[in-house]
Structure 1
Amino acid sequence: MTAAEQHRQVVVIGGGQAGLAAGYYLRRAGLDFAILDANHAPGGAWQHYWDSLRLFSPAEYSSLPGRPMPHQRGATYPDARHVAAYLAAYEDRYQLPVHRPVHVTGVERTPDHLTVHTDTDADTWHAQAVVFATGSWRRPFVPAVPGREQFTGRQLHTTGYRTAADFAGQRVAVVGGGNSGAQIAADLTAVADTRWVTRRPPRFLPDSVDGRALFELATHQVRAHAAGETHTGVASLGDIVVTAPVRAARDHGLLTAHPMFDRLTATGPAWPDGTTWDCDTIIWCTGFRPDLAATRPLGLHRTNGRIPTDGTRTLEDPRIHLLGYGNWTGPASATLIGVGRTAAEQLRTLLG
Structure 2
Amino acid sequence: MMNVLELSLLSQAHNLPASLAERLRFEVEQTLKGLYADESLVERIDDLFLPFARWVSEYTKPKHTPLILGLGGPQGCGKTTFCSVVSHILAKGFDLNAIEVSLDDLYLQRSDRLHYAQKVHPLFATRGVPGTHDIPLALNIFERLKHLQAGEVMYVPTFDKSLDDRKPVHRWQEVAGPVDVIFFEGWCVGAQPMSKEHLMDPINALEKDKDQDGSWRTAVNEHLESDYRKLFDLIDVIMWMQPPSFDVVYDWRNKQERVLEAHLHDIHGGVLDTLDIKVMSPEALKGFMQHYERITRHMICSMLQNADVQFVLDAKQKVLETKLPISH
TM-score normalised to the size of structure 2? 0.29
Larger RCO, structure (CA 8 Å, separation 6 or more): 2
Q: Going by fraction, where is strand more abundant, 1 or 2? A: 1
* Larger of the two Rg values belongs to structure: 1
- TM-score in terms of structure 1 length: 0.28
